[in-house]
Amino acid sequence: MTKKPMYRQIADALRGQIQRGELKPGDALPTESALQEAFAVSRVTVRQALKQLTSETIIESIQGSGSYVKEERVNYDIYQLTSFYEKLADRNVETHSDVKVFEAIDASPELAENLDVSEGEKIWHVKRVRFIQQKPVTLEETWMPLALFPDLTWQVMENSKYHFIEQVKKLVIDRSEQEIVPIMPTEEAVALLGLDPGRPILEKISRGYLHDGRVFEYSRNTFKSDHYKFTLVAKRRR
């Protein structure tokens, strides 16, 4: 009987650890160096094993970070207006936001229209990357009226925007009007999210409204689609 190639043996061993729960969704795999030492093989053999598991969608590799056990996709219920953190509340996973841009700018004609403010009025411009278990999954660009949130800070945007609005500002969020469209990723999105530049992704464009009808945000969210699934319930008219 022909002996199974070593890279297949390594893949089998790692797959077994995942199936037994020794490595859980979101967990980092041992480094390539650690696997080399553990199995007494070359780096090429280790990479073949990881490539095998990646092709089976059991693990995923993050450039500059390592390989991780593939997680179940985040369910994005279109009919439930929840924050990034609320969507993951039952997953018991580590999440954080990396704020790339935080600045006050003059509202352009387009932004003024979307925020229902005067052209040239000061507004916040925030760009942040959302992470799950150290993996970038969403690029969010948001504009908010500065007059409505004069005390908004970088630290707030590193955490939950909705918590700040509801618990600190004591404002009531009513709804979000959303549009989801397929687009080709920008160079920035490719770099920040590790996307395939030739593969279409989903972008969500939304306007958030307070209970009194004021627009509190205009946002554009780029999703790493292999981490999200979008659901809705459609009822037949009677």
For residues 57 and 88, state if they share a domain: no
> Which of 10-14, 64-68, 112-116, 234-238 is least confident?
234-238
Q: What is the mean pLDDT of the chain?
A: 84
- The pTM is what? 0.66
Q: What is the pLDDT of residues 42-89, one digit of tens each?
A: 999 999 999 888 887 788 777 677 888 876 655 555 555 555 545 544
For residue 14, being part of any structural domain is answered with yes
Q: Domain holding 180: CATH number?
A: 3.40.1410.10
Task: Tally the C-alpha atoms within 13 A of residue 202's C-alpha that lie toward its C-beta.
Answer: 15
Please provide the distance, in angstroms rounded to a whole number, between the alpha carbons at the two ends of the chain: 65
Instruction: Provide the percentage of residues in the chain whose pLDDT is more than 70.
Output: 82
* Domain ranges, residue 44: 6-69
Per-residue tokens: 11: 């893949």
Q: Does 1 have pLDDT greater than 60?
A: no
For residue 238, being part of any structural domain is answered with no
Number of folded domains that form the chain: 2
Q: Domain holding 14: CATH number?
A: 1.10.10.10
DSSP E strands in the chain: the ranges are: 59-62, 66-69, 74-77, 95-106, 122-132, 135-145, 173-183, 201-210, 215-223, 228-231
